[in-house]
Amino acid sequence: MKRGGLTREGWIRLAVVVAFVLAFELLCRLGVLPRTVVLPPSEMATSLWHLLETGEFTADIVSTLQDVAIASALSIALGFALGIAIHALPRLRATLEPLLASYYAIPTFMFYPVFIVVFGVSDRAIIAIAVLLSIVAMIASTLTGLDRIPRVLRKTAAIYRMGLARRALLIDLPAAAPHLFTGIKLAFAYAFIGVIASEFILSGQGIGYQIAYAYNNFENRKMYGLMLLVIIVATVANAVLDTIDRRLQSRLRR
Amino acid sequence: MRRLVDFILLLVGIVAAWQILHWIAGDIALTSPLDTVEHLGKLLGTERFWLNVAETARAFVAAALISLIGGVALGVVLGLSRTSAIVSEPILIALYSLPKVTLYPLVLLCFGLGISAKIAFGAMHGLIPVTIFTMKAILQIKPVYWRTAETMRLTPGQMAWHVALPAVIPEVLAGARLGFSLTLLGVLIGEMFASQRGLGFMITSAMGLGDIATIMAVALFLSVFAVSANALLLLLDRTAAR
């Protein structure tokens, strides 16, 4: 890939997205898509700008981002620790393997009401379900990362007579880093989805809650403004993490 | 044999952890495994439960079929040219990691309250992973297959049907596995937010009543279904890979 500036495919991609947005705008303006259903993108953008300017939803935005940050941090730290522990105990790992393989088939989100009963309608219930959704991705990535450390590196560490701590820090961690980062990326994406979805179904604050609230009150302008905000935040965050991820992955292939 | 022992150990471990959590949290927060199974047994005997199951199943099957057929078709079309695949992959990945719940009001406004909104929402979840997996699989087909197809002067349609499709079956099955579980999640979230029928609706109405036994029983029912369906697809996956 070229550094700085877009590739040919990058330009085409940009053109496709721009064309899509323009077509959408045109269909709305011509009245093919009625205003009661969807607003033209330009109005969504002005509505979002207006919402940010008046600061009407600043508290909700902060609360959502805070929950996402806490949930991702918790699942990354706990998932990493659990991954190391499970990797160190092969017998336990063999037993847990079917659970790890089919975990994401289970609609974990169905357990959100249980957390609501335990914690009440609060940030803690939201963070708990978001951690439950994202932690297994981090555990799985940690396991892959530790599995893929080349044996020659371990041997090199032995030749240098490194202690366990030095080996972990200087050899294992950098060697496993690309896979660990994939785990971090996934954990963040799942945490974001978990937080927004729980706010949407039942909560008292947050962006998801405000979108559901605006929907129930037919406040389309607010609803589409906030929707655009979620799309922008999710896309930008994922694009940044994805770019770093690709850089690290290409280092593996060298 | 060893795998069977491992599996039983895992089940025992899960039930034990559940029981311990039940002792810590108390009866109001988390019903015990035994009570949950008992309650599920009672629910399975009622007609209303099966009406809800049928409603969810109808939406799920329709959404899963749309995801599978649409995803494979879209994946084949995008994967046939390297440029279109490179162009569309980041867009598809961005769509995949978007919290799609935010878009549910849009779906509701387009389709109205009812089963079609649920189907559309489920298909939104399942379509993209199937597309991504199919597209990547098509790109990784050995060039010699293409050259053979060219030598035989196959039309693009024939190429897709006779060469590309058989070569990508294993990856498509992997994508379908992911797509199915996401479709189920999409349908259930749709029912939880705005619906008068289905298992998702059962959970939300139980949540409103603080009826934890029903929530746990329905969640158990869904988990058992999802894990068995996943195991079945994995088995299919393994036979196809051979």
Q: Which domain holds residue B106?
A: 31-241
pLDDT-derived band at B183 (thresholds 50, 70, 90) equals very high
Which token pair is A101?
């393989």
Instruction: Indicate whether B19 and B67 sit together in one domain.
Output: no
Q: Which residue of B90, B185, B231 is in closest CB contact with A13?
A: B90
Residue A184 has pLDDT above 90, yes or no: yes
Secondary structure (3-state) at B184: helix
Q: Is B29 left (phi over 0), alpha (psi -120 to 50) or beta?
A: alpha
Tens-digit pLDDT profile for residues B60-87: 999 999 999 999 999 988 887 888 888 8
Distance to chain B for A88, nearest Cα, Å? 17
Instruction: Indicate whether B137 and B56 sit together in one domain.
Output: yes
Q: Is B112 left (phi over 0), alpha (psi -120 to 50) or beta?
A: left
Distance to chain B for A138, nearest Cα, Å? 16
Instruction: Indicate whether B153 and B194 sit together in one domain.
Output: yes
Distance to chain A for B161, nearest Cα, Å? 27
Instruction: Indicate whether B19 and B77 sit together in one domain.
Output: no
Beta-carbon count within 10 A of A129 CB: 27
Instruction: Indicate whether B110 and B9 sit together in one domain.
Output: no
Distance to chain B for A175, nearest Cα, Å? 26
Instruction: Indicate whether B10 and B85 sit together in one domain.
Output: no
Going from the N-terminus, what domains does chain A have, and what CATH number goes with each?
Answer: 59-253 (1.10.3720.10)
Please report, for residues A139, B79, B84, B89, B136, the alpha-carbon distance to residue B76 in angstroms, rounded to integers and kept in the order given: 33, 5, 11, 13, 9
Please report, for residues A40, A128, A206, the alpha-carbon distance to residue A115 in angstroms, rounded to integers and kept in the order given: 38, 7, 17
Instruction: Indicate whether B117 and B25 sit together in one domain.
Output: no
Query: Which residue of B102, B211, B212, B235 is the best one to mutate when testing the A interface, meaning the one whose CB has the most A CBs within 10 A?
Result: B102
Decide if A105 and B177 are in contact by the 8 Å CB cutoff.
yes
Instruction: Indicate whether B24 and B45 sit together in one domain.
Output: no
Residue B234 has pLDDT above 90, yes or no: no
Residue A110 has pLDDT above 80, yes or no: yes
pLDDT-derived band at B241 (thresholds 50, 70, 90) equals low
Residue B26 has pLDDT above 80, yes or no: no
CATH of the domain at B111: 1.10.3720.10
Decide if B99 and A242 are in contact by the 8 Å CB cutoff.
no
ipTM rounded to 2 decimals? 0.82
Distance to chain A for B64, nearest Cα, Å? 14
CA–CA gap between residue B226 and residue B218 (Å, rounded): 12
Instruction: Indicate whether B115 and B158 sit together in one domain.
Output: yes
Query: Which residue of B52, B97, B237 is the best one to mutate when testing the A interface, meaning the one whose CB has the most A CBs within 10 A?
Result: B97
Tens-digit pLDDT profile for residues A9-53: 888 888 988 999 999 889 888 888 888 788 888 888 999 999 888
pLDDT-derived band at A99 (thresholds 50, 70, 90) equals confident
By 3-state DSSP, what share of chain B in percent is helix, strand and coil, each rounded to 5? 85, 0, 15
pLDDT at residue A118 in the model: 79
Average pLDDT, rounded, for chain A = 87
Residues of chain B positioned with their CB less than 8 A from the CB of A37: 106, 109-110
Decide if B91 and A13 are in contact by the 8 Å CB cutoff.
yes
pLDDT-derived band at A2 (thresholds 50, 70, 90) equals very low
pLDDT at residue A132 in the model: 92
Q: What angle separates helix B47-79 from helix B82-96, to the nearest 10 degrees?
A: 150
Tens-digit pLDDT profile for residues B27-66: 777 888 888 899 999 988 888 899 999 999 999 999 999 9
Number of H helices, E strands in chain A: 11, 0
Q: Which residues contact A107 (CB under 8 A, 6 or more apart)?
A: B181, B184, B185, B188, B222, B223, B226
pLDDT at residue A1 in the model: 45
Total count of domains within chain B? 2
Decide if A197 and B93 are in contact by the 8 Å CB cutoff.
no
Whether B185 and chain A come into contact, CB under 8 Å, resolves to yes
Residue A253 has pLDDT above 70, yes or no: no
Beta-carbon count within 10 A of B38 CB: 14
The amino acid sitting at B110 is C
Average pLDDT estimate for A144-167 = 85
Buried b (16+ CB within 10 A) or exposed e, B54-66: ebbebbbebbbeb
Residues 23-62 of B with CB under 8 A from A: 25, 28-30
Instruction: Indicate whether B4 and B44 sit together in one domain.
Output: no
Instruction: Indicate whether B89 and B2 sit together in one domain.
Output: no
Instruction: Indicate whether B14 and B93 sit together in one domain.
Output: no
Tens-digit pLDDT profile for residues A61-98: 999 999 999 999 999 999 999 999 999 998 888 888 87
Residue B8 has pLDDT above 70, yes or no: yes
